[in-house]
Chains A and B, each alone.
Chain A
């Protein structure tokens, strides 16, 4: 069975700081990887996804994530955060051809102006 770990439960940063949120997954085969974001009072939105190819993927709003197969990781990064990045971030995984998503527990990001 798949599992996803997000070890950072709550991260607090100042504006312009760099961000890296950890995501590790457990699964023996090929995976699709996703980051979703939930802004306060809004619904869950897709931030970026990795299926295959270049392990460095770029998403919306300046976010990127790097798939490191040897580490079973898919960490989310942003070089300079803004106050508007305050949100809950979820890492998720599924297997190609199996749409069922397994989510991590989420990381709450608070940006201090």
Chain B
């Protein structure tokens, strides 16, 4: 089965800085998504990463705070900008494949702690 990887797996950052998280898939996918899982909470969709165009953000999430890129069918990045302790979460990417477009498969996540 295909492999979804994320870098970094975890990081500890200072308030006011930015962190870029990478999601890499070893085969082409149709859709890529970014989720946030705050401590003790469920997953919340941040945005859909669209290839070659601006991401589609969910209510409560904005491009200035969470810029997203998706230059091709196997790679996407999420940047968490101007971080505050409230951004401490696990950030996950998910993908759908061409033969199973209604089912999402998740990467291992990036555990972010902001001090």
Contacts and interface: CB of A to CB of B under 8 A. Distances in A.
Interface string A21-65: 000000000001010100000111110010100000000000000
A44 B92 CA distance: 9
A43 B107 contact: yes
A103 B48 contact: no
Contacts of B106: 36, 43-45
B33 interface: yes
Interface residues of B, number: 20
Q: SS class of chain B's interface: helix, strand, loop or mixed?
A: strand
Contacts of B42: 90, 103-106
Interface string B73-115: 0000000000000000000101010000111111111000000
Interface centre among B48, B96, B106 (most CB of A within 10 A): B106
A100 interface: yes
Nearest to A90: B42
Contacts of A51: 102
B43 A100 contact: no
Contacts of A90: 42-43
Interface of A: 32, 34, 36, 42-46, 49, 51, 90, 94, 96-97, 99-106
